[in-house]
Structure 1
């Protein structure tokens, strides 16, 4: 090989190496440009509570307590948010009454509601250990303030839910469930959660639940009511159907309303079997509360349901 050929080859190799180095530096610069726009340290605004709720969106309501006002998708679907779609729940516990308002997207207190299952407002209260269940239909004043009597709630932490359909605003006609927490003063005595079961009793009635819903999937629960070993066939309408079924998740108190699969009913003659559409978003223990009416008396049966992932 001649000296001229060798020199030319060295020149070409050097040029190729320079070009490769140039391309590598360009690519590295591109990567660094993209990284400059990333937040690599957790900022205070991104801090979360142990339960996974956004602490940056916390505010103080009229009851002086801190309340989550941000609406992560999971909270919005589970009734654990105080604000959703521009509608906001604010309230205060005063003795045995909870007084609250719903503010609409326009910043004004909402005074227009559409009835859902015969009522403008369904109000629920549950203690943190899933005891003390309440389902009420409070009275609304002309200024939009609702008053829900809680009949001497036991001391401890409670979650209070408002389930309603706005009559005005951007969410008119859409069902919403908003909630707040409150603490009833005094020495709290936790009630152990009963183990999962398929049967329970209430006021002499036997209630069984059949079905194995899975978390996040649509399923069906069939409830059967009997008394003294005989099927009950004289259920009376309650809220437009023969029974009302709600559920609360152990731990975070996520809310679910299990809708009856039958159409609205009139007159006596319901039972003994009632089918419900069950779509429970999370696995684990859920406390079910079935309400039904016979002879003008409302009965409430409760049992724990284990929902698989």
Structure 2
């Protein structure tokens, strides 16, 4: 998802400089000072008032600081930074809820830019021939244009690459390998002409150990005649090979809601689901129009036999969901269109 210097004062502490003052009444005049002159040493009543006011100010500041600490921000356990959903988890049975005004970035779609959060996705080739086996090669570069070579392992992989045509067809979920110079590569075949979108979903590790989770996107081109496919109508059930997959849950703008996916075989019985990428399924959500990429977070275990994810949709619109699940040693993908009013 910083150590304090040894000599630094604790949060909310105040260092004071002290000097000895002769014991005197509140109306006494310090020695050597003419009677009636303004004293540089405050009397006891003034000191008491100053301490009371200072205490109140300190309490307000300390309360604000503690509120900021408890309200989020900073690295998370899974390596995210300042993202409420970098490794967001929920107790089973939790209902729909909002993440608050200070966590709006959690609901923002990613993958809309080639550069974000100080990193740039740099493809080494962006043109492919339709139906011909090729290779996607790219680097992630930092603000000094240096290739990044340190990445955290998230969902069992240091890099997740999602490829889809701009009409949201042809979904592929790939896991490239990295060379010592920071160049990632993975075999890729784009089956039909058109403009395709490639997303790099990763958590970079800086030299000082800071981790930044982000998703970058870039277009890939496959020349040729292109006829966009109409997005299938919204449905809560679909078939993949001999399996039926259905989900329950109602996505709502700005709210995090559970979506439960249940898989049944041709005989109506639930197959034995196998862990995939650290859970019993992996879900990608893409927004129609700008192809915004949404992070969707799974429960590590099945919930009453269903694969549960937590989805936050930032705005109304139509979204395409891609559920990867594994059974019988094979990974399959179930696709859904969801309309968020």
Q: Is the pair's TM-score, using the shorter chain for normalization, greater than 0.5?
A: yes
SS at match of 1:147: strand
In the alignment, structure 1 segments of 5+ residues that lack a partner are 1-72, 264-268
C-alpha displacement of 1:94: 4.9
Task: Map Cα deviations across residues 220-246 of structure 1 (whole Å, 9 max, x no partner).
Answer: 111111112523241111101001010
Any conservation in 2 of the 1:242–1:270 contact (CA below 8 Å)?
no
CA distance in 2, matches of 1:205, 1:242: 16
In the alignment, structure 2 segments of 5+ residues that lack a partner are 1-104, 129-133
Any conservation in 2 of the 1:123–1:148 contact (CA below 8 Å)?
no
Task: Map Cα deviations across residues 37-86 of structure 1 (whole Å, 9 max, x no partner).
Answer: xxxxxxxxxxxxxxxxxxxxxxxxxxxxxxxxxxxx79974221111121
CA distance in 2, matches of 1:205, 1:247: 21
Which stretches of structure 1, 4 residues or longer, exceed 6 Å deviation after superposition? 73-76
1:296 corresponds in structure 2 to: 329
Higher relative helix content: 1
Under a length normalisation based on structure 2, what TM-score does the superposition of the two structures give?
A: 0.64
Q: Does 1:80 align with 2:112?
A: yes
CA distance in 2, matches of 1:76, 1:138: 26
Q: Does 1:165 align with 2:165?
A: no
2:258 corresponds in structure 1 to: 220
C-alpha displacement of 1:93: 2.4
Provide the aligned length of Structure 1 versus Structure 2. 231
1:149 and 1:76, CA in 2 relative to 1: closer, same or farther beyond 3 A? Answer: farther
2:73 corresponds in structure 1 to: none
1:5 corresponds in structure 2 to: none
C-alpha displacement of 1:169: 4.8
Any conservation in 1 of the 2:203–2:211 contact (CA below 8 Å)?
yes
SS at match of 2:334: strand
Q: CA RMSD in A?
A: 2.2
Any conservation in 2 of the 1:104–1:169 contact (CA below 8 Å)?
no
SS at match of 1:231: coil
2:246 corresponds in structure 1 to: 208
Q: Does 1:274 align with 2:307?
A: yes
Any conservation in 1 of the 2:285–2:295 contact (CA below 8 Å)?
yes
